[in-house]
Amino acid sequence: MSANTQPSMRLSLQRLSAFMLLMVPVLAAYFWVKPVPAPVFLTPTAQVSNDAVWQESRFDQPEVRSVHASFVVNLPDNTQGVFWFGGSREGHRDVQIYRALMQDGQMISAPQAVLSASMLADLSSRYIKKLGNPVLSFVNDTLYLWVVNVSVGGWATARVDLLASEDLGANFGYLKSLRMSPFFNQSTLVKTRPVPMSQGLLLPAYFEMNRMDPVMIYFDADMAIRSSHTLAMDAIQPVVVVDSDQTANVFARPNDQGFIQNGQFQLDSAAWQGANLADMSNASSDLSIVRLSATNLLMAHNPAPDRSLLLLSLSQDNGATWQRVKVIEQTSGERFSYPSMLLDEGGFVHLSYTNKRKFISYIRFSIASLNLAAVLP
């Protein structure tokens, strides 16, 4: 290299360095994105009603031999949608998702089929053998439906698809399939209520293949999955109840015939404080919990080993201890299971559940009707 080329090369490198230094703040300004505030759980604002109300009804479908896994969701104008699956038997190809609409405890739209396996197959462009649990949430004028479905095998190989409706569930459009599991996207199920958040929602789900653990799935406001956290809990069908300190209190169905499992985590840290057994037996069945106040929780659950007993129990210390307050159903040899419960904007509780697999029972009631004067201060 000649002596004349060395100064020229040095000058070029100096100019390049100066240019890069000038570009640093420009590039930083271009790529810098304002941090998004961490999402927080939204707490219920409804106050429980003081009116003594107890209304019972059921959805009779003589043409449907077996029904199960109902889910009640709040809709606009203080109406409720009740969804469930029904067909010849659980897991049969003719099983469909049904919907009924309620207002003030009265049916305003009779049961109708809104989704079948063949309909979901057409929407998703893949083979669907059977449908299972429906889970719903009404967010920003849209009703979202997560539905368990199977293409090959049994429930352990299930996956979950997300659909949306703009007409309160009469018709659904397809959004996507949740991709959560390493097993060829198999073994993901849902059953319990999503938890509303400041930006999106938290969907409790669970695995049933190889491991049987809850998984918490965080969806942003656009219904895109942003994170998921598996909880080492050895339980399924987790129910999430948010405490005042933003801790998610998790209650889940045990995989054996033991006690309801309970643990806590916080979304921002994904810290799991470890599962522990609450002193509440549950017959290997689903449960449902609503918050009544800062400290009071109401649970619908099955303490009998054969699901012949469906109870309401009350906790006055955020779930640490429970007291039985109401027998909903009790008949030896029969099965009453899979309760779904919520509090509406008027302060009334709505409860739906499977009654003998023959029909879905529905109750609208107030806390005042439970005669808890001896329990509550």
The mean pLDDT of 339-363, rounded to a whole number, is: 97
Other CB atoms within a 10 A radius of the CB of residue 201 amount to 22
- Check if the beta carbon of residue 240 is closer than 8 Å to that of residue 229: no
Measure the CA–CA gap between 69 and 115, rounded to whole angstroms: 15
Q: Which residues, at least 6 apart from 234, have a Cβ–Cβ distance to it below 8 Å? A: 212, 213, 254, 255, 261, 275
Per-residue pLDDT, 109: 97
- Check if the beta carbon of residue 53 is closer than 8 Å to that of residue 371: no
Other CB atoms within a 10 A radius of the CB of residue 112 amount to 12
Per-residue pLDDT, 185: 59
Measure the CA–CA gap between 250 and 241, rounded to whole angstroms: 6
Measure the CA–CA gap between 129 and 50, rounded to whole angstroms: 47
The mean pLDDT of 233-252, rounded to a whole number, is: 91
Task: Of 202-206, 227-231, 252-256, give the range with the top mean pLDDT.
Answer: 202-206
173 exposed, middle or buried (CB, 10 Å; 0-12, 13-18, 19+)?
exposed
Per-residue pLDDT, 293: 92
More confident residue, 156 or 35: 156
The size of the chain, in residues, is 377
For CA atoms 312, 160, 247, 198, give the dihedral sign: negative
- Check if the beta carbon of residue 288 is closer than 8 Å to that of residue 311: no
Query: Minimal CA–CA distance to 321: which of 284, 351, 349, 295?
Result: 295
pTM: 0.88
Query: Is it the case that residue 373 has pLDDT exceeding 70?
Result: no
Residue pointed to by tokens 């045990």 = 254
Could you give the percent of the chain with pLDDT greater than 90?
Answer: 66
Measure the CA–CA gap between 369 and 373, rounded to whole angstroms: 10
- Check if the beta carbon of residue 353 is closer than 8 Å to that of residue 67: no
**Chain Cα centroid distance, residue 152:** 24
Query: Minimal CA–CA distance to 351: which of 264, 268, 286?
Result: 286
Beta bridge pairs of residue 74:
80
- Check if the beta carbon of residue 161 is closer than 8 Å to that of residue 176: yes
**Chain Cα centroid distance, residue 204:** 5
**pLDDT tens per residue across span 251-279:** 999 887 688 999 888 776 656 676 677 77
Confidence of residue 155 (pLDDT cuts 50, 70, 90): confident
The mean pLDDT of 332-344, rounded to a whole number, is: 97
Q: Which residues, at least 6 apart from 138, have a Cβ–Cβ distance to it below 8 Å? A: 73, 74, 75, 76, 144
Residue pointed to by tokens 């449908």 = 131
Q: Annotate the chain with three-state secondary structure.
A: CCCCHHHHHHHHHHHHHHHHHHHHHHHHHHHCCCCCCCCCECCCCCCCCCCCCEEEEEECCCCCCEEEEEEEEEEHHHEEEEEEEEECCCCCCCCEEEEEEEECCEEEEEEEEEEEHHHHHHHHCCCCCEEEEEEEEEECCEEEEEEEEECCCCHHHCEEEEEEECCCCCCCEEEEECCCCCCCCCCCEECCCCEEECCEEEEEEECCCCCCCEEEEEECCCCCEEEEEECCCCEEEEEEEECCCCCEEEEEEECCCCEEEEEEEECCCCEECCCEEEEEECCCCCCEEEECCCCCEEEEECCCCCCCEEEEEEECCCCCCCEEEEEEEECCCCCEEEEEEEECCCCCEEEEEEECCCEEEEEEECHHHHCCCCCCC
Per-residue pLDDT, 31: 40
- What domains can be seen in the chain, in order of their start residue? 49-370 (2.120.10.10)
Mean pLDDT of the chain: 87
Residue pointed to by tokens 């409804």 = 46
